[in-house]
Structure 1
C-alpha cells in the first residue's frame, strides 16, 4: 500500500510517499517556506503561498511515482502548531498567518496568566504569546475592526484542509494547541473564548486525528489526487514526530533538536503541570485508548550552534564542533544559559536572554563553544526531569533533528541524560508519523486493525550511543551548577 505524508513545517514543507509493505520511502519532495517579519517580534507566513507549496510537493511526489501514483491509498497531514489567520465568508484570508514564533501578544499572555487562572488551569498548554488565544486577545486590543470583519479564525492546517475538502475542521491535537480547547470534553472552552473575544461558530469543528474525508476535486480546479482518495486530517507536527520516532511506549522519550527543539513523551493521560503541554495524538475509540503527547518545546537548539559559528567564533560549523571536542566535558567549569531567543519550556519567558557564567582566564573559544552546546542540553535536561516527575523516568531517548548529524553532540546528550540515545534512521519523523497514522486510520476499518504500538515498533533506527559513566558523573555535578544559576 502506498501512503503519502505531508508535513507543513515552519521552515520547510515536505511530502513523502512510503510503501507500507517495505516501510521504505519511494518518493519525496521539499520546498522552503518563507517567513515574513514586518516588525521586530512579529513572524508571519502567507497562507496562499503555503497552499501553493502543498500542491507543488504533492505534484512532484506523484510525478516521481509515475504509474504508481494511482495506487496512493491515503494522504495524511502533519502541521506546525499555533498559527492563526482570519478569513471572510468566502474563505479568503484577511491576514497572513501569525506563526508560533510571533511574540506580539506578550502583554496579552502575561495578562491572561495573571488574571484568568480559571482559564489557564483548564488548557493543558502553557500560556505564551505563541497561542492563538493570546493572538486573538491582541487583535481584540489592537485591531477590533478586523475582529468584526473576520468570519472565521483558522490555522494554516485548517486553511489547507478547507481548500482540499471544503470543510472547516480541526483535529484534536491542533485544537489543543490553540489555548481555546478542553481536551477532556473535546469541545471549545467557553471561558477561553470569552477571553479571546471569539465565538465557537467562528472556529472549526474539532475531530479526531484519524478523521477521514474522500477527496473530491473542486470544479474548475486541477485534481491533486484521484477522486475518492482518503484524506486523513492527521495531527500536529510534534505529535506525529513522536509516532514517527517510534516513541509510544512508557519510558521512551523523544528529543528533537533542529533550529529549535522539543522533549516529548507519549502518555495515556495529560500531565498536570502548567509548564508542560498535553496534546491529543488520538482520542479513545473502539480500537485504541487515549494517546497524549506531553512535553515541552525550546526556542534554543541548533540556532545556538549557528550563532556560535556566525557571530561569536566566526568559523564554519564543522570547525566549531571540532574545537568544542578538544575541551573536556564540563568545559572546565564554564556555563552557558542558552536563551538567545527568549524561552518556552521550562521558563516560558519571552524576555529572558542568554549568558555565560564563571568565565575564567584559562577559557578559550573552544571552551565557549563546548559550554554553549552543553547549555542547550542542560536546558532540555531540565524539561526532561520535569516531564519525568509527571510521566515517569526516561529509559531511552529517540533522537532526531539536525543535531543528530554530529556524533559528538549526540554522545554529549547520552552523557548528560545518562541513558542510551537511539538515532532515528530518518529525520523525516513528522511525515513518517503522518504515514503511520494513515495506516492506523485505514486499518481501523478492516478486520485486522493495527495499534499505534504496532506501528511504532516498525520504526527504523541507526546508531545507539551509550553514556560514558565518567562523563555522566561529571555532568551530574555540572548540571546542578546550571540549575543553581536560577531562572
Structure 2
C-alpha cells in the first residue's frame, strides 16, 4: 500500500507526517527540534547542517514506521517557514548560517523603504504583496550590500531553507511561487523576479532560484552520495509552499468566511481568497498558494513566546500552573491591559522597535491578573489584525485554530469569547504537513480542486463563544485598542 509524507520545516522543529491516500489514519509522525542562534543583538540564525540532520532524522523515522506498517512512500511534499536567507556556492553548499524571519538586523533598510524611499517601498509591495519589514530577504540582502558586500560578491546563489533542501534532494535550484512571494523580490502577477527589488537588494536574477508552481514535482535524485536518504526508488518530490499558506489548506480554510489563526512561537491570522489583494498602507501580506488561491493576512512576532516569557521569566512556574492561575481571573483582567510587543512587531504596526507594556495597573491586580492580561493581549493583537483583514475579505463566521496554543482549551475558549464566533480545532494539529499532503493529492489528480481537498480535513472540538464573556471582552478590546493606538 502507498502513502504520502508531508514535511514541515519550521523555526522550532522539523516535522513529518505520513498518511495513506484516503487520509484514514496517521501512519507515522516524527519531530526533531532546531536551535536558534543569537550571535549578536537582533540576529537570529540557524545552522543549515542542523536543519539537514533534523530532516534526515524525521525521514528515517517516518520511513521506518511506514515500512513497518506495510506502506510504501510514493510522494513527499514540503512546507517551509518563510523569509529565511542563506548564501550558497554554485553547488548549493551553504556559505554561512540561515538568517531567519525573526532576524531584525535590517531594520534601517526597512525603515528607509518606509520613509525616505517610500515610493520604492510602495511599488515593491504592490508588485510582491510582501509588507516591508526587516524580516524579508529583500531587506536582508540590502543590509548585506551595505554592511558586508563581500558576501554578495562571493555568493553564487541566495535562497531559503526550501532551496537548500530542494537542491540537496533533486540537484535543481528551484523555488516555489509561495516562498518566492514572501521574499519581497518576486513579481507575483508576472511570476518572475522583480527588477526594481533586485536593484535595491543588490542581487542578480541568476543568483536567485528558478520560480516554479507549488505543485511542481521532481524525482528524488540527491545532489551527492552524502545526501542519500533511506527512501524507496521512484519517490516523487513535490516542492510545496510556505508554512502559512499550507496551514490554511491543512486547516480546511479555503472557502470565504473561514479565518485561520495560528499561534506557535509567533502567530498569524489569514484567509484564503481567489484574487490577490493589497492593503493601501502595506500592512497585509498576500502570498500564492496555487494558481487560483492566495492567502492574505497578517503575522505577529508575539504569540506563544509571550506565554513562554510569562512562565519562565515573570512567574517562574510550570505552564500548567500559570494557565490555571489565569483561569481564576475574570475576562478583561479587571482592567489590566498588556501590549504584547516583546520582540518588536509585524502586523498591524510593522515596527521592529516597538516594545510591550502593561497598562492600567492598580493595587487590586495580582500575579494571576498579569498572566491573564498577557494571554488576552496576544489575542487582542491578532484580532486587531483580523479587523484590518476583514475590511478586504469580509467577516469570518468561524476561526480554524492551530499551533501550540491549541493544546490549551482555556486559551482557545478565550479566543472564541473575544472573537464572538466559533473556533474549530483540527483533528490533527499538524496543519502544515497536512496541507502539503493535500496539495500532493491535487497535484496528482486524486482530487480535482483544493476545495475538494479541504473537505477531506477532519475536525476535533468546536468552542462556542459565551455571550456574557463576549460582552465583557468588547469593553476590554476597545480599551486595548486605544492603548495600542497611543504607541
Deviation at 1:218, TM superposition (A): 4.9
| 1:182 maps onto 2:187 in alignment | yes
Match of 2:96 in 1: 95
Deviation at 1:449, TM superposition (A): 4.3
Deviation at 1:72, TM superposition (A): 1.4
Match of 2:173 in 1: 168
1:306-350 Cα shifts (integer Å, max 9, x gaps): 111222222221111111111111111111111111111111111
Contact persistence 2:256–2:272 (CA under 8 A): yes
Give the TM-score normalised by the residue count of structure 1.
Answer: 0.95
Larger CA deviation: 364-373 vs 171-180: 364-373
Match of 1:478 in 2: 476
Match of 2:77 in 1: 76
| Equivalent residue runs for 1:223-262 within 5 Å | 223-262=229-268
| Equivalent residue runs for 1:345-356 within 5 Å | 345-356=347-358
SS in structure 2 opposite 1:434?
helix
| 1:64 maps onto 2:72 in alignment | no
Aligned residue pairs: how many? 477
1:27-73 Cα shifts (integer Å, max 9, x gaps): 12111111111111101112222122212211111111226677212
Contact persistence 1:216–1:228 (CA under 8 A): no
Match of 1:461 in 2: 459
- Rounded Cα–Cα distance in structure 2 between residues aligned with 1:229 and 1:55: 15
| 1:110 maps onto 2:111 in alignment | yes
1:241-293 Cα shifts (integer Å, max 9, x gaps): 1111111011000101111111011111222111111010001xxxxxx1001
Match of 1:287 in 2: none
**RMSD between superposed Cα atoms in Å:** 1.4
Give the TM-score normalised by the residue count of structure 2.
Answer: 0.95
| Equivalent residue runs for 1:200-219 within 5 Å | 200-218=205-223
- Rounded Cα–Cα distance in structure 2 between residues aligned with 1:342 and 1:75: 36
SS in structure 2 opposite 1:329?
coil
- Rounded Cα–Cα distance in structure 1 between residues aligned with 2:126 and 2:250: 30
| 1:382 maps onto 2:384 in alignment | yes
Post-superposition, which runs of at least 4 consecutive aligned residues in structure 1 deviate over 6 A?
none
Deviation at 1:392, TM superposition (A): 1.0
- Rounded Cα–Cα distance in structure 2 between residues aligned with 1:69 and 1:33: 30
SS in structure 1 opposite 2:460?
strand
SS in structure 1 opposite 2:17?
strand
SS in structure 2 opposite 1:307?
helix
Deviation at 1:228, TM superposition (A): 2.8
| 1:270 maps onto 2:276 in alignment | yes
Contact persistence 1:216–1:227 (CA under 8 A): no
Alignment match of 1:408 (pick from 399, 407, 410):
410
- Rounded Cα–Cα distance in structure 2 between residues aligned with 1:482 and 1:223: 51
Contact persistence 2:78–2:241 (CA under 8 A): yes
SS in structure 1 opposite 2:444?
helix
Match of 1:9 in 2: 10
SS in structure 1 opposite 2:127?
coil
Structure 2 unaligned regions, length at least 5: none
Match of 1:450 in 2: 448
